[in-house]
Structure 1
Amino acid sequence: MTDTSVDTGAGTTAGGRAPQPTGGNGAAALERRAKRAQRLRRLGLHTASLVGLILVWWLVTRLELVRPLYLPSPGAVWDAFVTANTDHPVSEGSDRIVRGEQNYYLWEHLVASLQRIAIGVAAGVVVGVPLGLLMGTTWLGVLLEPYLNFVRSLPPLAYVGLLIAWFGIGDTSKIWLLFLAAFPPIAVATISGVKGVREDQVNAVLTLGASRRQTLTTVVLPSTLPEVLTGLRVGVGFAWTTVVAAEIDNGIPGIGGLAYLAGGQLRTDLVIACIIVIGFAAIALDLGLKYLERALVPWRGKA
């Protein structure tokens, strides 16, 4: 029997069949397909739960189990959302046209709040990360830890009156309040990250002749970065939960200020619309921070 296989130099095998992917490439492809299928299942589950929640909400309001003053229908909330983003008559039959709510569209209220949160959280990072590094590596940790715990234990609402008395009702007091909400978790996470650095790694670079600054930049900071990013996510969450309190006084434009004002006017449809916008914006920010964490610390969670 003669061998009819021909080596053409193009990677073919006996019978002219192309080689099948084997080894690492095949395993990686299977892993990618499995992850893609898992993401699709999670997306389907989230979509189904959201649709189910809206259907239950609609059914409760349709059967009038709760008064519309307390729980407006999904349609009423959608109408309030559309009205807040368009020009419309000030009242039915009126010729006077107003712009959104309080002369700002809803997205402009959201952007104003995001700007305040961004400044407050950025200040929390600028102060919290260096302070956490100092407290985690020097005697300042023993000295300042009680004060950090004191600030961390106080609810941000406790500062509102004092900050208004110090800085007035402008943006300065609001940014300070958001800073005080975001700073403690960032500082605490940084301290935790520094204390989690392996001592043998530090000793290894010191043995090789590295200075304290080089040790900090090549070992301590990379090892601490995952904890810092976790603290940043927690700090952003705390800032979002504080935004309504920050914008109680003179908070227009601001999504928190609009929600507070609408609640005082018993416009629950607009309040719920603001709450939904705040929630989705917070989820989007958290997802963005998750992707940032994956990009900056891809080794996290890998053995």
Structure 2
Amino acid sequence: MDVVQSPGVVAEIPDPSIGPAPAPTRRPRRGGAPLRRLLSVLLSVVVLLAVWWAVAAAEIWDPIFLPSPGRVWDAFVYSVTSHNGLPGIQGYYLWEHLWASLWRILRGLFWAIVFGVPLGVVLATVPPIRAVVEPYVDFLRALPPLAYFSLLIIWFGIEDDSKIWLLFIASFPPITLATLAGVRRIPGEYLESARSLGASRLQLVLHTVLPATVPDVLTGVRIAMGFAWTTIVAAETSNGIPGIGGLAWATKKELLTDVAIVCVITIGLTALALDAALRLIERALVPWSGRT
């Protein structure tokens, strides 16, 4: 490139052999990504329903084993309306069955958080207690919840108490271990900085340890929520009405496959909605974590 100078002015004349300057690169806009994701999901649902309808219409299997989408929709409508003065199915509307299960899950999960998070902090910060207690937490984590459900029924009866205890024990280990892992991942510089500023042990836990472990705790809660759903459905096979799992279990007596599918879809959509809510909470509380 040649330079032409004049009094008080310096101008550059581009060299034609070099060619045009490259255009500035633009970052792709991501505003349409959620919309494309939503359209992809809707398209997959439409394809699934079309395949389901075609297979059911071909009567490859007996309608008892594979009812059509229309028949499942009719079962859903039946479950949310009254018939001969009786609500829904088994004397309760579908949302009453769902709320009964969800209320049991929320109570069990609440107590698992109340006890699991502090215990995880203690296990991470007090090695002697960790050496004694952590094997018991791992033992509970490895046990299938239904293995001890009979004991809980004997101890607490067949009402909600035994189910809540079961959900608490199933949710407690993942929350505790996630908290423990989160505390152990805190950089030592953070703790030393807080101590150098005069923070007491309680202030260190409240203002440094707990905020830094929020992403791990929420991950543990999400995992525990999944465990809770699989556990409550099995637990409600015993005196589980009202309850979405109890309703699904009751359909086997009369081979109500359409109602069972309604229960499965309801459970799945509710679990997805709860997980999405937990993700939104995580983004609001810890936007710096980068997790989605």
For normalisation by structure 1, the TM-score amounts to 0.85
Secondary structure in 1 aligned to 2:186? coil
Q: Displacement, 1:266?
A: 1.1
Q: Does 1:112 align with 2:107?
A: no
Q: How far apart in 2 are the matches of 1:97 and 1:209? A: 68
Q: How far apart in 1 are the matches of 2:180 and 2:156? A: 30
Secondary structure in 2 aligned to 1:70? coil
Q: How far apart in 1 are the matches of 2:252 and 2:111? A: 31
Secondary structure in 2 aligned to 1:150? helix
Q: How far apart in 2 are the matches of 1:83 and 1:48? A: 27
Q: Pick the aligned partner of 1:257 from 230, 234, 246.
A: 246
Q: Pick the aligned partner of 1:137 from 125, 133, 148.
A: 125
Structure 1 letter corresponding to 2:106: A
Structure 1 letter corresponding to 2:71: A
Aligned runs of 1:14-163 on 2, under 5 Å?
34-88=29-83, 96-138=84-126, 139-163=128-152
Q: How far apart in 1 are the matches of 2:143 and 2:34? A: 39
Q: Displacement, 1:272?
A: 0.5
* Runs of at least 4 residues off by over 6 Å: none
CA deviations over 1:140-162 (Å, ceiling 9, x no partner): 11111111110000111112211
Q: How far apart in 2 are the matches of 1:34 and 1:43? A: 17
Aligned runs of 1:106-255 on 2, under 5 Å?
106-138=94-126, 139-255=128-244
Q: Pick the aligned partner of 1:286 from 261, 272, 275.
A: 275
User: What's the RMSD between the two structures over aligned residues?
Assistant: 1.6
Q: Does 1:298 align with 2:279?
A: no
Q: Displacement, 1:240?
A: 0.8
In the alignment, is the contact (CA less than 8 A) between 1:160 and 1:245 conserved in 2?
A: no
Structure 2 letter corresponding to 1:42: R
Partner residue in 2 for 1:92 = none
CA deviations over 1:89-109 (Å, ceiling 9, x no partner): xxxxxxx44221111100111
Q: How far apart in 1 are the matches of 2:255 and 2:147? A: 26
Secondary structure in 2 aligned to 1:34? coil
Q: Which runs of 5+ in 1 are unaligned?
A: 1-29, 89-95
Q: How far apart in 2 are the matches of 1:269 and 1:51? A: 19
Q: Displacement, 1:130?
A: 0.6
